[in-house]
Amino acid sequence: MKKMKYYLRIYFRVASQYLKERMQFRADFVCDVVGMIITNLCGIATFWVVFQNITEVGGFDFYEMLFMYGFSLMAMSPQQLLLDNAWVLSERVDVKGFSQFGIGLVLLVIAWRRLAVPVTVLNLLMFVVLWTGAVFICMALIILSSTFGFMGVGTNAAVFLASDLKSYGRYPCDHF
């Protein structure tokens, strides 16, 4: 267990240095964050346009879809933040994960309130457990595909497979 703490501390130090390096080029950092925000706002706008014309898709209304979209953004952001380039063993931290997590959290809170889900200890505990499980599944897919990429000649096919598998997590959202 001591070795794990040691390596985690090293990882976070390297990640911290990378973030400091990225912050030196503020325009690039801002462009990354703004680009992620615009991408997600376009997805939300698509939901809004579709639900202006119909009341539900596959049995889900607008706020239920918004909840699932926010949850999937929050579940994928730690993987994007920590393991975005795992297949090339870079010490890079993808800062877009921060904005993705923030957008997902805002969407989730808005949908949670509009769906009138009671804020109880049990609901919050269940959310944390499900979110943690979803994060581990997303991260495991990337680690597994990166491992296969190291054993094979080309890494791209394995990583694209993991990305495709992760996209099924947003099934109801992407269905329409």
Burial, 108: exposed, middle or buried (Cβ in 10 Å; 0-12, 13-18, 19+)? Answer: buried
| Global confidence as pTM | 0.71
Could you report the per-residue pLDDT of 65-115, keeping only the tens digit for each? 888 888 888 888 887 777 766 555 555 666 677 778 888 899 899 999 999
Residue 86 Rama label (left phi>0; alpha psi -120 to 50; beta): alpha
Intra-chain end-to-end CA distance of the chain, in Å:
46
Could you report the per-residue pLDDT of 2-60, keeping only the tens digit for each? 887 887 787 778 777 777 776 777 777 777 778 878 887 887 888 788 888 888 777 88
* Distance of alpha carbon 65 from alpha carbon 69, whole angstroms: 6
Beta bridge partners of 57: 60
Residue 60 has φ and ψ, to the nearest 5°, of: -110, 135
Residue 92 has φ and ψ, to the nearest 5°, of: -85, 140
Query: Would you kindly state where each structural domain of the chain is located, as residue ranges?
Result: 2-175
